[in-house]
Amino acid sequence: MSKPVPVPTTDTAHYWQACDGEELLYQRCGDCGHVQFYPRRSCVSCHGANMTWLPSARRGVIHSFTIVHRPPTPSFDDDAPYVVALIDLDEGYRMMMNVVGDDRASSAIGRRVRVVFEERAPGRKVPQAMLEAAP
């Protein structure tokens, strides 16, 4: 059993295509300026259908995290204990990612991270977070 591989929808195909080129995109409403994640066809704030794509600087801060000792499926057994975190990107949106890297156990609320990419399957990279050097 292998880890879940994201299957793009018509809303998210452009996002995942960019990830494969190691670019992280997010959406901003062309009508009201609302920033949103995950990608959707229309704006959750004004419901306009004029969403624009912008590249993220791929930097953010840990809003919360957990160290998972008991994975939901055996495909994650080799990773346990692993870190699941909610990351607030500097552009004003939130994503779930794993904090990866040898120092992941030092994860803490407020720690800054940068986004890297993990090749989950051929042609399918998923964003992940790595801790920035402690201040």
Partner 1 sequence: MPAEAFITGVADTPVGKLPEHNCLSMQALAARDAIANAGLAPSDIDGVLAGFSFTQPHLMLASVFCEYMGLTPAFTTAVQSGGATACTAVMLAAALVESGQCRHVLVVTGDNRLTGLPPGGAVAMLAQVGHAEFEQPYGISVPAAYALVAQRYMRDYKVSPEDLAAIAVNQRRFAAQHPHAHMRKPITVDDVMRSRPICEPLKLLDCCLVSDGAAAVVVSAREAADPSRHRIAILGTGQGHTHEHISAAPSLTHFGCEMSAQQAFARAGTIPSEIDVAEIYDSFTITLAVELESMGFFKKGEAGPAAAAGELSLTGSLPCNTHGGLLSYGHSGAAGGMFHVVEAVHQLRGQAGPRQVEGAELAFVHGDGGILSTHCSLVLGQA
Going by the DSSP 8-state scheme, the letter that residue 134 receives in this structure is P
Instruction: Tell me if 2 contacts partner 1 by CB under 8 A.
Output: no
- Closest Cα partner for 126 from 92, 104, 97? 97
Shortest spacing between CB 43 and partner 1, in angstroms:
14
Token reading at 81: 């204990």
Give the dihedral sign, CA 6/12/13/19. Answer: negative
- Closest Cα partner for 39 from 81, 93, 82, 86? 93
Instruction: Tell me if 126 contacts partner 1 by CB under 8 A.
Output: yes
Q: What is the largest CA-CA distance in the chain?
A: 46
Shortest spacing between CB 50 and partner 1, in angstroms:
21
Q: Residues 4 to 43: which contact partner 1 by CB under 8 A?
A: 4-9, 12, 16, 37-38
Q: Residues 67 to 106: which contact partner 1 by CB under 8 A?
A: 67-73, 76, 79, 81-82, 84-86, 94-98
**Cα–Cα dist 26/23, whole Å:** 10
Q: Total number of residues binding partner 1 (CB under 8 A)?
A: 37
Applying CB under 8 A, the residues found at the interface with partner 1 are 3-9, 12, 16, 37-38, 63-73, 76, 79, 81-82, 84-86, 94-98, 109, 120, 126
